[in-house]
Structures are given as structure tokens and as C-alpha cells.
Structure 1
Amino acid sequence: MGRTHVQTVEDRARVEAIADYGIVGAPVEPSLVSLAQLAATLCQVPTAVVNIIDDRAQHQVAAVGFDAGVCGREDSMCAVVLQDARHVLVPDAQRDRRFTDNPFVTGELGRVRFYASSPLITPAGISIGTLCVFDEATGSLTAEQSAALDLLAHQAVEVLELRRLTQELERSNGELAHFAGQVSHDLRNPLTALVGHLDLAAEAAASGALPRIARAVDQAEAAATRMEGMITDLLAYARAGGAQPRRDRSSLREIVATALDDLSAAIAAAEASVTATIAEETDTVVGDPMLLSLLVQNLVANAVKFALATGIRPLVEITAVRTEQGWSLTVDDNGPGVPADQRDRVFGAMERGDERDVPGLGLGLATCRRIVQIHGGRIAIDDSPLGGARLRVTLRD
């Protein structure tokens, strides 16, 4: 039987950070190869590698002196020192009890003697891998060489950050073009309906048909309400992408209460059950209280809307738990859920994970992602124990 894989909180954060860079499985990044070559030259060894280590495997994304590959995390030398996230120098791996039985040392996969590595640490403080150099002969590094290896590891992260920002810019440009066309189309529908119903009301008024007037006005009002909701979504999306957020210390309970108060009419109309649990006595969160309230509001509104579209009474549970880094906020629902292969796509503007006829422009989760990102946090979708989706937000202090 194979071993059961248990993903820790640290692993989950690392996997999400690695996914942002889009480097695993991608064509080799020439700048990373150049940094590995420079590391080997400065450290006077024949081999160097940039390793990305997720919860299961070590991915050699750039290598010098051998062909890059993938190995299980349990076989990786760099995985042994990953959590320490500091420079490591091992003159003779055969004499270091951390590595004496490692297959890269014993001869099963390699015969490493000298080993040195510097961690790849993201701006958010997450260790995602190493820049390491090694040799089949024993060796050492001077203080200057060790400092150089640290510097090159930092430059490797800068390369990854530039890659991430370039990908984000390309995605944003594509979203913008799609966004403009879709907004124009979606707003035109209720506008056309509004004008049409007002025309019918005018015709009915001319003939004195009061019931027809009332019906046409009601339908016109409904179309106007739909437009108002769409415009509200647009403004929220734009606001979430604006200037840097405030960094106030606020009560998370008050933020959630404000969001639910703003949604009270919609929750009542849907006959939804929405509960919030914040177990910690100290509920201080650092961030922009207006945007964080908007975040909660969008998550709950989205959950209610899609559960209602399935014809069931919406059930939503909000839970906030304090972590070492900040807060973990989850919003669970009993709706249709989001298939695993769509969980990244639905955070894009104008995207929906469900094809049911639901109101809005598909900006709710895109707005949430914007708010979370400008707060330096992360947002992801899991399966919910309630049967629907779990939106999981991590916020750092």
C-alpha cells in the first residue's frame, strides 16, 4: 500500500505560491539557467540547480552539469533543509547524519559529497525551494562564496517574481478586452428591456389601460434593478483594484457584521441561513475595513446566489480562525460547488463556475481575489463539508 499524503498548512501555502509563478512544467527559464551557471562558477563546482519543492516532489527547473529532472520529495536533499530556510554548507554529506542515508549520497541516485544551498524565499516569506551547488568530491565555501550563493538565490526569486508579474499583465490585458465586450453586452440587455417596457407603459397610458401600465412599469423597474446590481458590481470591482488599501487595525467581528447587515435584505428574500463564528476573543485584523467588508459581502452573496439557483434553501457558514501569520477565513455553502478543473478560472472577471441563469456580471469572485491580493493574502476554493464550495481566504498581519 502507498503512503497516505497529508498536506500541511505550510505545504498548502507553498503549493499556492509555486502555482503563482507557473514555473513547474514550463519551458526552461534562461535567466534561471544563467544564475545556476554563475553559482557553479563562483562556488567552483561542476553542478548547480534551481529546485522548486512542493508538497510531493522536487522539480529541478534549471540545472548546470546534468539534465534537470523530478524526484520524490522524500529523496530530495534540499527538502531536508527546506523548513529551516537558511544557507546550508555541508563539506561531506556522507558524514552528515541528515544525508548519510539519502539516495543522492549513497549511490542509488547519486554520489554527492559536497553540498551547499540557499533558500528561495518569496516576498511573502514562503520558502519554495533552493539554489544548490554540489560535487562528488568533498569541499567547502568561503564566506564570500556563501554570501554570493545567497545573493544569487535572491536573484532567482526576482526572476520568478518578474515572470509572475508578466503573466499577470498578459492575463489582465486579455481579461480587459473580454471584460469590455461582455460588460457592453450584459448591460445592453436590461437597458433594452427597460426601454421596451417604458414604451409599452406609454402606449398603455395613451389607451387608458391601467393594468397594462402597472405591469409594464413593474417590469421596467425590475430591469432597472438588474442594471443597478450590475453597475454596483462594476464599481466594487473597480474600487478593489484602486490605490493601496488602508492598514487599519479593526474588529473582524464588526467587519463581518457590517457585511451581513448590508446583505440582510437579500438574505431574507432568499430565506437563507447565514451564521458567523469567530472563536478568538481578540479579533483584530490588519487591513482596509471597507474592502474587507466588501470581501465578506461578495463571498456570502455569491454563496447565497448560487445555492438559490439550485432551488434549495441557502445555508452559509462563516468561520474565522487565528493563525501564526494572521487569519484564516472560510465561507462554506450548500450550493452546487465548483469543479476542481474550474477553481482557478472562476476568479477571472466575467467568469462563472456554473452555467445556471444567475444575476450579475460574474465579478464577485474576481473582486474578492483583487481585495485579497492587495492585502498580500491568498484565496482558494475547496470542497465544503456542507456539500457545496468552501472559499478559503488567508490574510497576513
Structure 2
Amino acid sequence: MRARAHPEQTERLKTLYRYEILDTPREEEFDEIVALTAQICEAPISVINIIDAERQWFKAEVGLGTRETPIDTSICAHIILDENFVEIEDTLQDPRLRDNPLCLAERGGLRFYAGARLVAPNGMPLGTLCVLDHQPRQLNDLQRNAIRVLARQVMKQFELRLALRDQEVLRGEIDHRVKNSLQTVSSIVRLYQRDVADETARDALVAVQRRIDAIGALHEQLQGSSSGQLIDIRKFLERLVGLLQETAPDNVKLRSSAVHAVVDSDTASALGMIVSEFVANSLKHGFPETQAGNVTVELKKADAQFVLTCSDDGLGSNARKPKLGKIGSLGTNIMNAAASRLNGEFSQALDENGSRLSMTFEHVYA
């Protein structure tokens, strides 16, 4: 006998699909639960069974050797309509199952069933954690309680995954909105630059825009990250250098080269500030008027460390020594503070071939 549909089937399926469990790969946490359940209950078969509209799908199983079967022969499709725990000592004595082909098989028929429903917080049953045997039998109280407890643990795992996914979606939306807001602010600052005649004020606005763009690039990478607060540092530096190129004169070309690695967002932020300030200093002092040149940003890995190198082929030590002023002092302080956040060994040098910055710091993520 095929089980009737749940009286709130539409809502039940809506709840089920929100968890995005169906057709996911096997996971050790769930495999261990069914293995333990089978061992405690001394049963040859144990299953985490999810009831879809026209099939039952197994998130984990021992003793079956398949991931899904049609809903027509599903025992658990009947059980989700019942109480939270059901034990059937002999399936052939149960009117719902006595004509079930899986129970009637002459050899290997499923003659015993015990399972606890997997119930979402809104009361909708998603499936069961169950054990089956080829012989009629009974469980003891410890075994029954074990199934109930382990079923609740399965549901808690589902809830945890759902909460993490919802948090990821929310974080992505926040990063998207922050990025868009920063882009708007950057555009406004750029418009103000055009109408400012005072060189000091203009330098200050350029510095503000540059730092806004660096933070915006960071949130852009966070938005596209599937690893929470981890950043693909190669993509981040490529995006940042691309934004800085937009502020550079046509005679100066910027390029980046970075090892493929992920870092946390704090590390990416610190690196972004250092790179932004170095590039700004190179553009301002290394390439007067129409002198052509290049600025290069490189990030390499050496053993357990990262090595950041920023260099240009501008005037270097041949440039007129600038008056540092408040804007220049702020840039230097920002680089020093960023290097300190990374516990990095930070050095700068000028010679006739240009300017160079080097920093070595430890990395955690590979």
C-alpha cells in the first residue's frame, strides 16, 4: 500500500526543500550516526531517510547499498504520518505494509522496523532515522531511546547547516550593499576632485577615494567568497590594482602578480592599504609629467611566509625630496599600522632605479 500524502504536503515539501539536503554527497557525520544506530540496535540496516514527493532518498545508510527508492514501496512514508517514534515488530502483521514488496520478498524481506521522525521546528516531518531487520523482533528501552536521541542530533545537524547557509546569504547581501555604497561615495569624491583648485585639498580627496576603493574591493571579494571571511588574495590584488590603474596617468602602467592562496579579511585589508599607499606615493613622486614607467605588486610564498614586494622604475632617489605634510605622514602611518597588524617585517628603499617596498609575514591559510 502506498502511503497517503501528508495532510500538509505542500508546506512539508516547502520546508524540506529549504534545507537543501536532497542529492547532497555523503558526509562522515551522518554515516557515523547510522553506523552507531545499527550497532546499538544490533540491526543489519540503518537509514537516514528523507521523504520527497515521489521518492525516498537516503542521506546516509548502512546495509542497503542504494541512495534512493520509489515512494510506492517506502515504509518511512507511512511513518512520517504517525507518532514521533514507531516500532513495528512484524511488518507483515501491519495492514499498511503486509502487501509491500520489500516486506514480502521470500529471502531478505524487511520484517522489522523502528524509527524516529526527523521533525523541523515548524512541526513538519522531513523523514526518519530508522533501523530494519530481516526477522521479526523487538528493541529494548535503551535502543529505542538511542534512536530518539540520535534522530534529534540528525535534525540539529540539518538546522546548523541551514543557519550557516542563511548567515552566508545575509553576509553576502551586506557585503553587496556596503560595496555599492562605497562605490557611490567614491564617485562623489571623484566629482569633488574636479572642482578643487587647492593642491593639498585635492591630494586629500584623492587619498580618501583611494582608501574607499580599497575597502570596496575587499567587500567585493567577500561578497563572492564561499568561505565566510576568507579572501582569494590573487583576485583581490588584481581587482585593487585595476582600480588604482584607473587613477594613474596614461604613462604609468600597474601590474600585479600573486600566488594562489586564501587569507582572512583582516590580512587582505592590511595588504590592500599598504599596496594602495605605495602606489599612490609612486604615482605622485616617481613619474613627473609624462615620464613613462611601471609599478609592480607581487605576492609570493616562501615556506610558511608571504613576501609582499611593491616596486616602481620611477625617479627613485633622483626625485626631489617631497615635503611630507599631513597627507604624506598619514599615508606612512597607515602603512606602518597595516604592517604591524600583520606582524610583518617592513622595509622601504630608494635608489637610482626607483622605489621598493618589501614585507615578510606569516600566513595561516594555504
What TM-score do the two structures reach when normalised by structure 1? 0.44
What TM-score do the two structures reach when normalised by structure 2? 0.47
